[in-house]
Structure 1
């Protein structure tokens, strides 16, 4: 097993903080005490890599939308980098299972896209284009796409497209990267290659990462801490710190210690499938509305695809 790589000293103040967060998708559901996620309490350290696992439909993606400001909580508060979340964050980057690259743009131009539409980069783009292009080329080279800058998405494999998507999410040098099943559609060999790519990017820069995945091996290989969510309404019921030393190579996935953690997490998720919803005393929102200090619920936006959600997250 490899020797541990020292982790830089982290700030005592959490980078991500959820304090008794509940979310109902609209006022009608709120009045009926029907929640997508409930009583979420979480503190994530500066530079920490966490993974969220749980049954399908448990609220993992909803948690991601809350984290990046695409959804506002019905009650409770969310702080990112010490600041209350009041709308889409500019300090985060997002990547999804579908790469969502624009087919009429080259790989380089796809990676540059956030800088063309996000302030303050947008107003500086014309004057600093060469600088931004060099930044994009370095990112592409770091994920094995050097020389692919002029290729169009349809000329790239699925794994290459996903690498480009991650570069696009990092081009504005965010403090936090959110990944929603980014490798789920790829074959096993490509998926493991991208685990190593993401590992290397994170170890080089130490931005915060929140990874949503159904792949327990992926979560254990990449994360410092794995959180298990219950079935809907989702809440965190297990926090599992991963003590496996870094840097982790793929060989570690075949060791007894690694497989034991995977089986442990699988057992937690299997047990949760039959767990009844919890309604702690005093935690129900008031009927018909909010009390002072609670965020207003927002209507559910149906039909919001990955690219549109990504675009909304970087426009503000």
Structure 2
């Protein structure tokens, strides 16, 4: 039985990943800090669902607590570490930057130290498409420079990539970094656009449309993303690149991989999908761009497809409809 240590197991993506691993027969140890950045009850419900499986064990604790992760890894000895826990959110990083230092920098350091002491066969860490920042060349490819982050959140995630690379080089730790692109789906985060839009529309309240609607996002359905993560577990960085598009380091068993749908969707088309799924027309409040945000994201999926084969790509209308069905069921509206 293979063993995975997953940080952020009560989070949106972590929950779905743990479900998938448990369904495939893995033994999973999950760690989550249960921070109050958003509704803790939602996180607790996710863990409660995972605990229905005898293969899952949950630990509540802060990633950045000295020695906590190391102790868990020493005891559990996982084959794979998947580090998803982080302080998320572009706009919140303007208001509470210290929480990003603690969770994203110190927390990642604790994970790296644990992996150094008790090396897994593969270490996989979450980054974000936000690291591409001010880049204007699209689709975003892993080989593009990403030096001009536009939010402190993105800066901490880029720093995490660099920290992991140094450990991969110094200690020979096989490491894959994920850059996620606008993940959505059932059990999603309340601070993200889909959740906020659906809640407002069902309550008859207006929704805020930034940059006057001139936005595009590479929306990635959560189950498609998890499929990519699971396939990458066995795509351990080796000595040779898979092509000139590979981000494999020349000095370490380390690479960064985009996980996105590979097709940007205009924001207003996204809103139309929500209107169709809810059966209601949204009252739209058009606003200027927010600080730290970018007008578009678009993943180049060449590398991940070379490593894992073609991934599923859920249509935005189907994915949004599934979220609305979950939302109505969960909140009984």
TM-score, scaled to structure 1:
0.31
Determine which structure has the larger helix proportion and give its number: 2
TM-score, scaled to structure 2:
0.30
